[in-house]
């Protein structure tokens, strides 16, 4: 049954089904508050066996603390992941002006379905805007302050950065990844190895949603498939479903300093060594095809 539902919702999110069938309570644009002044942005990230990436994300907030916005940094994690827990314990001691650390523990099965955490955060948020992202993305170079400027008075349901800077697909033995795997500490990156990409829509790590929308509709809250715990990390098909339910692919905005580490190995996925090798080959082929 779950396979059938997955197939159905993947087709539905392509526009084959009216989104109002599953989310009739999306607030009309005129009913969303056009907030101005010092905004609060909640960043929502997940981490399972990716502490060597999360270290760079949290470090970016230490290196580039926001001056004109308040940031709530929410991280969903599982206490069984000892390296991530140790990393969060370390950053809990870092006092960063304008930043509130918010660690949210989940069971392993709940963490493996990313829509569960995102939905809980969306329904509970008090922020003006939410940025749903992945733990391999960083906020550098005035990123969050410029985001605050770009969000002034806007009522859009969904936005995304016009540009992001990314690495090539890095192997696990790359020095950047190895550095993040050591003792918890504040890290920095060599920005010269990043190149610009220009996304066409609000993909999974680049979804910036209006707070009123999040509180009203959550994150795929009415699609039970995307709120069910699973035994291994599920593919994030709910990213597309979220855009469908919000009736928007997202509007691009100019935000500097968005950096993302791209990597070959998918450590969050479980499975056999042969399955891991196959996933790696597929990612390398996709990288070659998109050049």
In this prediction, residues 216-241 reach a mean pLDDT of 93
Residue 281 has pLDDT above 60, yes or no: no
Strand partners, 139: 258
Residues 6+ apart with CB under 8 A from 131: 41, 42, 43, 44, 147, 207, 208
All structural domains of the chain with their residue ranges: 3-289
Q: What is the pTM of this model?
A: 0.91
pLDDT at position 285 is: 43
The average confidence (pLDDT) of the chain is 90
Instruction: Kindly indicate the confidence band of residue 266, based on its pLDDT and cuts at 50, 70 and 90.
Output: low
> Could you count the other beta carbons within 10 Å of the beta carbon of residue 20?
11
Residue 269 has pLDDT above 50, yes or no: no
Residue (of 20, 251, 39) closest to 158 by Cα position: 251
pLDDT at position 72 is: 98
Residue 233 has pLDDT above 70, yes or no: yes
Look-up of token digits 């005035």: 142
Residue 280 has pLDDT above 60, yes or no: no
pLDDT at position 99 is: 98
pLDDT at position 13 is: 87
pLDDT digits (tens, 9 = 90+) for 160-212: 999 999 999 988 888 888 888 888 999 999 999 999 999 999 999 999 999 99
Helices (H), the chain: 2-11, 51-63, 82-92, 108-111, 114-124, 143-150, 175-180, 211-217, 238-245, 273-289
HSE (CB half, 13 Å, CA atoms) of 53? 27
pLDDT at position 111 is: 97
> Could you count the other beta carbons within 10 Å of the beta carbon of residue 80?
12
Contact between residue 78 and residue 107 where contact means Cβ atoms under 8 Å apart: yes
Residue 54 has pLDDT above 60, yes or no: yes
pLDDT at position 287 is: 44
Instruction: Kindly indicate the confidence band of residue 42, based on its pLDDT and cuts at 50, 70 and 90.
Output: very high
pLDDT at position 1 is: 60
Look-up of token digits 């990393």: 87
Look-up of token digits 């926001």: 66
Fold of 3-289: Spore Coat Polysaccharide Biosynthesis Protein SpsA; Chain A (3.90.550)
One-letter-per-residue 3-state SS of 91-147? HHCCCCCCEEEEEEECCHHHHCCHHHHHHHHHHHCCCCEEEECCCCEEECCCHHHHH
Contact between residue 139 and residue 72 where contact means Cβ atoms under 8 Å apart: no
Residues 6+ apart with CB under 8 A from 214: 121, 122, 123, 125, 130
Tokens standing for residue 198: 């220009």
> Helix, strand, or coil here: 170?
strand
Q: Which residue has the higher pLDDT, 33 or 289?
A: 33
Tokens standing for residue 196: 């610009």
In this prediction, residues 44-66 reach a mean pLDDT of 97
Residue (of 204, 208, 166) closest to 42 by Cα position: 208
Strand partners, 131: 43, 208
- What backbone phi and psi angles, to 5 degrees, belong to 144? -75, -30
pLDDT at position 32 is: 98
> Could you count the other beta carbons within 10 Å of the beta carbon of residue 113?
22
pLDDT digits (tens, 9 = 90+) for 141-158: 999 999 999 999 999 999
* 263 burial level (CB within 10 Å; 0-12, 13-18, 19+): buried
Lowest mean pLDDT segment, chosen from 91-95, 250-254, 287-291: 287-291
Residue 58 has pLDDT above 80, yes or no: yes
In this prediction, residues 107-133 reach a mean pLDDT of 97
């Amino acid at each position: 049954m779950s396979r059938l539902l997955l197939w159905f919702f993947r087709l539905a999110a392509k526009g084959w089904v009216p989104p109002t069938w599953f989310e009739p309570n999306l607030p009309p644009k005129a009913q969303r508050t056009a907030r101005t002044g010092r905004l609060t942005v909640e960043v929502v990230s997940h981490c399972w066996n990716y502490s060597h990436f999360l270290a760079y994300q949290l470090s970016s907030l230490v290196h580039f603390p926001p001056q004109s916005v308040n940031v709530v940094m929410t991280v969903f994690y599982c206490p069984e992941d000892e390296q991530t827990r140790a990393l969060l314990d370390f950053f809990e001691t870092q006092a960063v002006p304008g930043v509130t650390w918010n660690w949210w523990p989940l069971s392993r099965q709940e963490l493996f379905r990313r829509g569960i955490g995102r939905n809980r955060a969306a329904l509970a948020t008090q922020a003006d805007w939410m940025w749903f992202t992945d733990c391999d993305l960083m906020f550098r170079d005035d990123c969050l302050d410029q985001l605050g400027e770009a969000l002034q008075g806007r009522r859009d349901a969904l936005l995304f950065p016009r540009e992001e800077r990314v690495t090539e697909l890095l192997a696990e033995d790359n020095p950047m990844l190895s550095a993040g795997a050591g003792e918890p500490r504040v890290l920095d990156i060599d920005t010269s190895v990043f190149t610009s990409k220009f996304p066409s829509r609000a993909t999974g790590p680049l979804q910036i949603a209006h707070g009123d929308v999040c509180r009203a509709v959550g994150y795929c809250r009415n699609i039970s498939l995307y709120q069910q715990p699973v035994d291994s990390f599920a593919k994030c098909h709910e990213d597309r479903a979220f855009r469908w339910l919000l009736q928007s692919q997202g509007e691009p905005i100019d935000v500097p300093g968005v950096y993302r580490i791209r990597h070959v190995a998918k450590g969050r996925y479980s499975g056999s060594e042969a399955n891991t090798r196959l996933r790696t080959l597929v990612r390398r082929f996709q990288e070659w095809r998109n050049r």
